[in-house]
Amino acid sequence: MKTQERAFDGAATPLVSAGKTIEEQSFCIIDAEMGPHDFPPDQWSIVRRVIHTTGDLEFARLIRIHPLAVKAGCAALRQGAAIVVDTRMVQVGLSPTRLQWFGNAVVVPASQAGVRETAEKEGLTRSAAAFRRLGTTLNGIIVAVGNAPTALLETLRIMHDERIRPALVVGVPVGFVQADTAKEALWQFQAVPSITVLGRKGGSPVAVAVLHALLELAYGLGPA
């Protein structure tokens, strides 16, 4: 059976039927309150899940999705690409059931041995130090940053200076220092597909919502 034709049944979703009913009702409310929009169906699946997660319709105005982001992200997920994230908040927020669909591993570089020492030595944040060590391992994988703008800035440096090319960068760090500039820089770097949220809003829950939407699209539970 082709991926796009998989049925949305109990084996495919981590929600029990009552939870799925509530989720579907929520999506209907979001659709109604959002009204007409210009998002293609696959991109709307992502935007709607972000709104569902945050309860904030303003994300529809702030989110930016590269024209190739959905295709690139779904292809990488189907191939079992690893997902490199900036915090354990993103890691633990991801559904084990969804991750099992394609066997995608979730890696948190900041939790690895020696990162703290490297950060202290080089005067970096732990997130920046952790991502700096990744180098060519970022090629072809998915990067998701929900909390640490310095991790996103280091990813951008690696992509620019070392010509490293992740399959997709989900850059949605929240905050008041460097978050907005990091996300604007990501959006301007059109050589790599990305999904971001301009301004101060974002966060680990937003990164998780984007990844869940992409996993469902890759599995054939949506328009992609």
Q: Catalytic positions, please? A: 52
Nearest partner of 164 among 130, 145, 192, 129, judged by Cα: 192
Chain centroid to Cα 91, Å, comes to: 11
In angstroms, rounded to a whole number, what is the distance separating the alpha carbons of residues 141 and 170?
Answer: 11
The strand pairing partners of 143, in sequence order, are 84, 169
In angstroms, rounded to a whole number, what is the distance separating the alpha carbons of residues 199 and 66?
Answer: 17
In angstroms, rounded to a whole number, what is the distance separating the alpha carbons of residues 203 and 221?
Answer: 25
Radius of gyration, CA atoms only, the chain: 17
3-state secondary structure of 223: coil
